[in-house]
Structure 1
Amino acid sequence: MITAKLLIIICHFNNLEGLEKTILSIKENFKIDILVVDDGSKTKPAEQNLKNLYKNGEVFLKLLPENQGVGKASNVGLNFAIQHQYDLTGRLDCGDIVHPNKYEKQLEFLENNPEIKLLGTWINMVDMEGKVLMKLKHPTDYEAIKKKLNFNSAFTNSSVIFYVSALEKTGLFPEKYNRNGEDYAFFYNFSKIYPTTNLPEFLVDYVVDPNSISSLHRKDQVKNRLMINLDNFEFGIYPILALVQNSIIYFIPRNLMIKLKKAIKYNQ
């Protein structure tokens, strides 16, 4: 029986259709609360409409007066989770789809592996019509995760849940990288302090949206990745290779990167 208090944080910005689609994908046999943080949208969600949409837990809405960036909006959510004494929390991006019983599988894994404090899953990368572009298998071994974090994130944001109590040591999402890379920096910091892993199941459909932050501001994202590499740099072969690799990636368009990954069956 699931007894842990879980809060899912969804940062929203001008994507009501994606927000509703994501909320409706949460299908579990136990209570999960949702906090929607609206980051200064022109078209804002209505709290009562969200409550009518979702019946498997409480729905809360925080309206930010102006756009502050996803990192700061996420930290509004994390502070809410701390203040309301949730056991675990995680973020979802508008438009992404979680598979049925995703959270039950994750919570059962965490109960059986108490040393793990943050848990992601494998994901399907899909286009706007839901067609699978690529299956992404992030590493499950803790040492492999720490190795990969030299180069890029070893987690997909919408797949991850973690213990709220761990934030006392890890801190919140680093606002230095507020609009690009805050999740990578957070996972990097978290995995230096606590064991982390990924559940080897495809439990999230991650939408590759041409209008997302990752697509429209990809160069800024890779630039921040390089800054995170430098912030955490310790002399060694992997940190050096990471700086070289991310410097090269900076000049490669995202669409070409996806094609290259598919061509070499990246992470298959």
Structure 2
Amino acid sequence: MNRTALLIPHFNNPQGLAASLASVGEHEQIDAFIVDDGSSRQRIDEAACARAWQAEGELHFIYLPHNQGIEHALNTGLQAILEAGYEYIARLDCDDLCAPDRFTKQMAFLDSHSDVYLLGSAVTFFDASGDRFTINQPQTHDEIVRQMHDDNAFTHPTVMFRAAGVKALGLYPTDCKAAEDFAYFWRFVARYQTANLAEVLTRSEYNDAGISMSHRRQQQAMRIKLLWRYFDYSPRSFIKISKASLSFALPVSFTRKIKRLLGMGKWD
């Protein structure tokens, strides 16, 4: 058993799963836990996964009897990883791709920064036409706290966190549908030191079928809920929650036009 486990939820996307597994470098010392969330149309091909997986670690497959949603799949995987006794937990989604040394770099950072419990990185989003844009998330904890009062300071498929933090904070919340990562990372930010690496260590698929686009209004509503939960009565909090409320009220086509005019790459 390695020190680190990679958690990947799966739902009807065996080709994307194989591509994600194949992107993990052959010298990475990491085990993978794949949780199938009740796939019915396209089941996991375990043989194809084994062929794609070149890392120095084992594959573990967990099958849920029916579709329950990503937060339930993630929590099932977290429970299995905690029971197995891993030190670090990393995340990746089907179709997302890792730099070949991503996990080695993240483990080295956490090993040398014992106070940091949640670590992400910069991310490049891509689609069938190629790379679209890169998001450079804030790197220091103070910068991350400021960003969290506006929007998520971590891109979910880039993160690695300490299992000790999961034991202390609990599993992903189930009352923030489509924004379970934002809610979960707020718990880490509120209690521990956090960081993002400047380097792009993950390439994430961008498409209109993703949760951020297909469930945009639900996700935006949950974002406002979380901003109220961590509201600190500062002018910053007033400004940020007003901005989120305006974004919720406006159609996505309009907000995209505004962001393009302002030169912003993130379109959610």
Structure 2 match to 1:101? 101
* SS, match of residue 19 in structure 2: helix
1:73-222 mapped onto 2 (5 Å cutoff): 73-129=73-129, 131-177=130-176, 179-222=177-220
Amino acid at match of 2:44: P
* SS, match of residue 120 in structure 1: strand
Distance in 1 separating the partners of 2:184 and 2:108: 24
Structure 1 residue 262 displacement after superposition:
4.6
**TM-score scaled by structure 1?**
0.92
Structure 1 residue 175 displacement after superposition:
0.8
1:214-233 mapped onto 2 (5 Å cutoff): 214-233=212-231
Moved more, 97-106 or 231-240: 231-240
Amino acid at match of 1:79: Q
Distance 1:254 1:161, change over 3 A: farther
* 8 Å CA contact 1:117, 1:195 repeated in 2: yes
Distance 1:229 1:103, change over 3 A: same
Aligned residues: 264
* 8 Å CA contact 1:28, 1:104 repeated in 2: no
Output one character per residue of 1:96-139: Cα deviation in whole Å (capped at 9) or x when no partner. 1111101111111112222111110001121234x222110100
Distance in 1 separating the partners of 2:28 and 2:95: 23
* 8 Å CA contact 1:121, 1:202 repeated in 2: yes
* 8 Å CA contact 1:138, 1:267 repeated in 2: no
**TM-score scaled by structure 2?**
0.92
Structure 2 match to 1:27? 25
Structure 1 match to 2:242? 244
Moved more, 243-252 or 159-168: 243-252
Amino acid at match of 2:11: F
Output one character per residue of 1:178-237: Cα deviation in whole Å (capped at 9) or x when no partner. x31000000111111110000000111111111112111111000111111122222111
Amino acid at match of 1:147: R
Distance in 1 separating the partners of 2:172 and 2:214: 21
* 8 Å CA contact 1:47, 1:60 repeated in 2: no
* SS, match of residue 172 in structure 1: coil
Structure 1 residue 169 displacement after superposition:
2.1
Distance in 1 separating the partners of 2:78 and 2:154: 18
Structure 1 residue 258 displacement after superposition:
4.9
Moved more, 209-218 or 80-89: 209-218
Gaps of 5+ in 1: none
Distance in 2 separating the partners of 1:160 and 1:257: 27
Structure 1 residue 264 displacement after superposition:
3.0
Distance 1:121 1:73, change over 3 A: same
Gaps of 5+ in 2: none
Amino acid at match of 1:27: G
Structure 1 residue 260 displacement after superposition:
4.2
Distance 1:230 1:48, change over 3 A: same
